[in-house]
Amino acid sequence: WVAASLTKQHHPSSRFSGDSAAPWTPHFDVVVIGGGHAGTEAAAAAARCGSRTLLLTHRVDTIGQMSCNPSFGGIGKGHLMREVDALDGLCSRICDQSGVHYKVLNRRKGPAVWGLRAQIDRKLYKQNMQKEILNTPLLTVREGAVEDLILTEPEPEHTGKYRVSGVVLGDGSTVYAESVVLTTGTFLRGMIVIGLEMHPAGRLGDQPSIGLAQTLEKLGFVVGRLKTGTPPRIAKESINFSILNKQTPDNPSIPFSFINETVWIKPEDQLPCYLTHTNPQVDEIVLENLHLNCHVKESTRGPRYCPSIESKVLRFPNRLHQVWLEPEGMDSDLIYPQGLSVTLPADLQEKMITCIRGLEKAKMIQPGYGVQYDYLDPRQITPSLETHLVQRLFFAGQINGTTGYEEAAAQGVIAGINASLRVRHKPPFVISRTEGYIGVLIDDLTTLGTSEPYRMFTSRAEFRLSLRPDNADSRLTFRGYKEAGCVSQQRYERATWMKSSLEEGISVLKSIEFPSSKWKNLIPEASISIGRSLPLRALDVLKYEEVDTELLAKAVPEPLKKYTKCRELAERLKIEATYESVLFHQQQEIKEVQRDEALQLPKDLDYLTLRDVSLSCEVREKLHFSRPQTIGAASRIPGVTPAAIINLLRFVKSTQ
């Protein structure tokens, strides 16, 4: 265990359970392989649940490394971060200590689909993550490359052909474990690509995992191949920012974590981002050099929603594509050109960059590159992320075909919890589609699989009005505390306080009547639509865009003043008011469907041509393909939305 001394040098203040006077016993409750975004969450979650956990990774100094973009969050991804945080996961808290530019995306739409996002200081994130991981009680960290799995007879009461009981490292040493979580990212048979050159690597500067990929294949796991890529990095001082559109951060910054009121840095001290665009010259360089670009020629599928510049030029020719120039950190000299992921030979990348406005004199410090890697068909895992084939073996992160730090973190926390629960013979911790985006992500993966890198969007969630970033704690923290034991007492108490304050606040807002003379001052526009001189409940007044809790409390200081003292509480009351009536109707519709769950669907219904009922093409195809017998069965088909079900239900009843 050379690594123990190595890691001690890097982190003199860290606590290592393996470097005390006690002899090193390589037997743990949970072993997590990989120190990326899935692995760190899995290891910390298992340890929080009370399991003696080992995190085994190639290099301790790359724990928490952001392989690609220096940012976290965004539309759908911000929701996942809030849910990870609600389960006391790490990434949101670490982002609040490392962000350099906070901006909520989708602000013009309702808060249910706001995308919390921040540019992150890479170096700081890694430092803070390593500090957190190396100081987590019950968690030991070691360097090493896992090459093989130790398998034993399966437990008779569970399905599965084998049971995992440990891992074998590259130097032949073994570690025994009750559960093992694999989070190897893009490293399984990873190959990096620039131009026509291909080299075995998990990402730039890191060795790939070949032995482990062979082991998994030999065991009978179905393996596929995916690809992704990253843009070049540019010297900051070589960019002419003065001619570009500047984007300033939000003021105030909204923290990612429920337990933070503010982030580590004031908005005025944060860094700006800049926007520029590609042009026809960029298209020309890409198209003229396709023969020098083997990543693009490969038939392997890449990320649809974060495509390379080559894919964009091929799919949408003659368009100007956005390039965001994003800071890599507070004291970094590098800029990350988001939107310019490319695998052309390095000299052509430089030529392409200098065609772009503001980048005419840009100096490329590191070329962009692509990576191709094995992933495992996620239909081979259960909703607890345990594999069907090997008992007590869990997969999380990019190995399951996803892309993105947040998707990886979300799976990591669930795998870590379940690996720990499995050791303690407790029932699995599963999040349903109605409870969280994590549930949507895992349900999509385990039931539908994926043939291209999967990323989260709000449109994937049927219940997005209730699965909001603001209320992830009320959806998940209590379950995490009671069923999994992964939530700290402090967080539990904070969530309990928030829940009771919200309930009390809503009931107070319902009980206060505003006479028309009073509400017309606050919402004069509304008198046109309401048009009557009726009193309104304070909760109804708060629904209007121009009213916030502060303004309402000015009109009725008692008893409303106390709800303005905590910024988060005031904002959440406003959001609850906004969605109250919509959610009430949604609840009524859910009840309507539940009442008629057993309603038989006519056998001869032709969903593809059916008129008089509003169904999207996607839903029609799914119903046509699955031919459910009842409304209940139809509602359980992934991707068939509640709105479609209610329309179908009402249509079928109208024909009876």
From 306, 498, 547, 644, residue interacting with ligand FAD (rule: CB under 6 A): 306
405 binds ligand FAD (CB under 6 A): yes
Q: Which is nearer to ligand FAD, 38 or 652 (CB)?
A: 38
Q: Crossing angle of helices 472-479/489-511, nearest 10°?
A: 140
From 57, 140, 372, 391, residue interacting with ligand FAD (rule: CB under 6 A): 57
From 47, 212, 417, 619, residue interacting with ligand FAD (rule: CB under 6 A): 212
Place of tokens 């010297």: 235
Site for ligand FAD in 7-46 (CB under 6 A): 33-39
Phi, psi of 101, deg, nearest 5: -165, 105
The span from the CA of 341 to the CA of 326, in Å, is 13
398 binds ligand FAD (CB under 6 A): yes
The span from the CA of 442 to the CA of 460, in Å, is 12
Site for ligand FAD in 321-340 (CB under 6 A): none
Site for ligand FAD in 59-118 (CB under 6 A): 62, 67-69
Site for ligand FAD in 352-391 (CB under 6 A): 371
From 91, 95, 134, 146, residue interacting with ligand FAD (rule: CB under 6 A): 146
The span from the CA of 410 to the CA of 84, in Å, is 6
Give exposure, 180-193, as e/b (b: 16+ Cβ within 10 Å).
bbbbbbbbbbbbbb
Q: Residue 36, CB half-sphere, CA atoms under 13 Å: how many?
A: 30
404 binds ligand FAD (CB under 6 A): yes
Cis peptide before 367 (omega within 30 of 0): no
The residue range among 131-139, 182-190, 233-241, 626-634 that interacts with ligand FAD, by the rule CB under 6 A, is 182-190
Q: If you write DSSP's letter for every residue of 628-642 in order, what string do you get?
A: -SBHHHHHTSTT--H
The residue range among 45-53, 55-63, 492-500, 558-566 that interacts with ligand FAD, by the rule CB under 6 A, is 55-63
Is residue 164 within 8 A of residue 151, CB to CB? The reply is yes
From 232, 397, 401, 436, residue interacting with ligand FAD (rule: CB under 6 A): 397
Q: Which is nearer to ligand FAD, 74 or 505 (CB)?
A: 74
Shortest gap between Cβ of 63 and ligand FAD (angstroms)?
7
From 31, 282, 408, 486, residue interacting with ligand FAD (rule: CB under 6 A): 408
The span from the CA of 614 to the CA of 626, in Å, is 18
Q: Which is nearer to ligand FAD, 453 or 505 (CB)?
A: 453
Q: Which is nearer to ligand FAD, 56 or 552 (CB)?
A: 56
Q: Which is nearer to ligand FAD, 213 or 536 (CB)?
A: 213
The span from the CA of 468 to the CA of 471, in Å, is 6
Q: If you write DSSP's letter for every residue of 388-449 in order, what string do you get?
A: SSEETEEE-SGGGTB-SHHHHHHHHHHHHHHHHHHHTTPPP----TTT-HHHHHHHIIIII-
The span from the CA of 192 to the CA of 228, in Å, is 10
In 3D, which of 58, 34, 51, 57 has the Cα closest to residue 178? 51
Is residue 144 within 8 A of residue 56, CB to CB? The reply is yes
Shortest gap between Cβ of 614 and ligand FAD (angstroms)?
34
Q: Which is nearer to ligand FAD, 294 or 530 (CB)?
A: 294
Q: Which is nearer to ligand FAD, 48 or 295 (CB)?
A: 295
Q: Which amino acid is at 327?
A: P
From 92, 98, 136, 183, residue interacting with ligand FAD (rule: CB under 6 A): 183
Shortest gap between Cβ of 14 and ligand FAD (angstroms)?
18
Site string for ligand FAD, 531-570 (x = CB under 6 A): ----------------------------------------
Q: Which is nearer to ligand FAD, 209 or 253 (CB)?
A: 209
Q: Which is nearer to ligand FAD, 34 or 358 (CB)?
A: 34
DSSP 209: B
Question: CA dist 631 to 351, 409, 599, 612, 645, Å?
Answer: 58, 35, 6, 18, 7
In 3D, which of 405, 398, 337, 305 has the Cα closest to residue 78? 405
Bridge partners (DSSP) of residue 536 are 514
58 binds ligand FAD (CB under 6 A): yes
From 60, 145, 180, 325, residue interacting with ligand FAD (rule: CB under 6 A): 145
The span from the CA of 617 to the CA of 608, in Å, is 8
Shortest gap between Cβ of 193 and ligand FAD (angstroms)?
10
Is residue 156 within 8 A of residue 6, CB to CB? The reply is no
The span from the CA of 320 to the CA of 342, in Å, is 16
From 228, 270, 278, 635, residue interacting with ligand FAD (rule: CB under 6 A): 228
For ligand FAD (CB under 6 A), the number of binding residues is 38
Which residue ranges make up the site for ligand FAD (CB under 6 A)? Answer: 33-39, 56-58, 62, 67-69, 145-146, 183-187, 202-203, 206, 209, 212, 228-230, 306, 341, 371, 397-398, 403-405, 408
